[in-house]
Amino acid sequence: MKNIFDIKTEEDFLTACLETFRFQYENVEIYRKFVDYLKIDPQNVDELAKIPFLPIEMFKNHQILNKNISTELYFQSSGTTQMNLSKHFIADQNIYQESIYKSFDQFIGKPEDFIFLGLLPSYLEKQNSSLIYMVDYLMKKSGKTENGYFLYNHEDLFKLLNDLKDKKVILFGVSFALLDFLDYCTSNSQTLKLSDTLTVIETGGMKGRKEEMTKDELLKILQEGFKTDKIYSEYSMTELLSQAYSLGENIYQCPNWMRILVRNAEDPFNYEKEGRTGAINIIDLANIHSCSFLATQDLGKIMGDKFQVLGRIDHSDIRGCSLLVS
For 283-301, write each residue's pLDDT tens digit. 999 999 999 999 999 999 9
Looking at the structure, do residues 186 and 268 belong to the same domain, yes or no?
Answer: no
Q: What pTM was estimated for this model as a whole? A: 0.92
Tell me, yes or no, whether 290 lies in a domain.
Answer: yes
Name the pLDDT band for 313 (thresholds 50, 70, 90). confident
Domain count across the chain: 2
For residue 81, tell me if it sits in a domain: no
106 & 233 share domain = yes
Q: In CATH, what number is assigned to the domain containing residue 300?
A: 2.30.38.10
Looking at residue 319, its pLDDT comes to 46
Whether residues 233 and 269 share a domain: the answer is: no
| CA gyration radius, the chain | 20
Q: Note whether 262 and 246 are same-domain residues.
A: no
- In a shared domain, residues 165 and 287: no
- d(CA 311, CA 1) in angstroms, rounded, equals 35
More confident residue, 187 or 79: 187
Residue 132 sits in a domain whose CATH number is: 3.40.50.980
Shared domain check, 106 and 50: no
Whether residue 268 sits in one domain with residue 215: no
Q: Among 250, 285, 300, which residue terminates a domain? A: 250
Task: Decide if 90 contacts 99 (C-beta within 8 A).
Answer: no
Question: What pLDDT, on the 0 to 100 scale, is given for residue 318?
Answer: 46
Is residue 248 within 8 Å of 226, Cβ to Cβ? no
Q: Is 85 within a domain? A: no
Mean pLDDT, all residues of the chain: 91
Instruction: Tell me the mean pLDDT in the region 195-224.
Output: 83
Spatial distance between the Cα atoms of 170 and 42, rounded to a whole number of angstroms? 44
Which H/E stretch holds residue 13? helix 10-27
Percent of the chain with pLDDT over 70: 93
Quote the pLDDT of residue 207: 54
Could you tell me if residue 104 is inside a domain? yes
Question: Is a pLDDT exceeding 80 seen at residue 325?
Answer: no
Q: Tell me the pLDDT tens digit for each residue of 262-279.
A: 999 889 889 999 999 999
pLDDT tens-digit profile of 159-202?
999 999 889 999 999 999 999 999 999 999 998 887 789 999 99
Asked whether 312 and 299 are in contact (CB, 8 A), the reply is: yes
Residue 205 pLDDT more than 90? no
**Residue 175, domain extent:** 94-250
Q: Are residues 145 and 224 in the same domain?
A: yes
- Inter-CA distances, 239 with 38, 55, 138, 217, Å: 22, 11, 20, 28
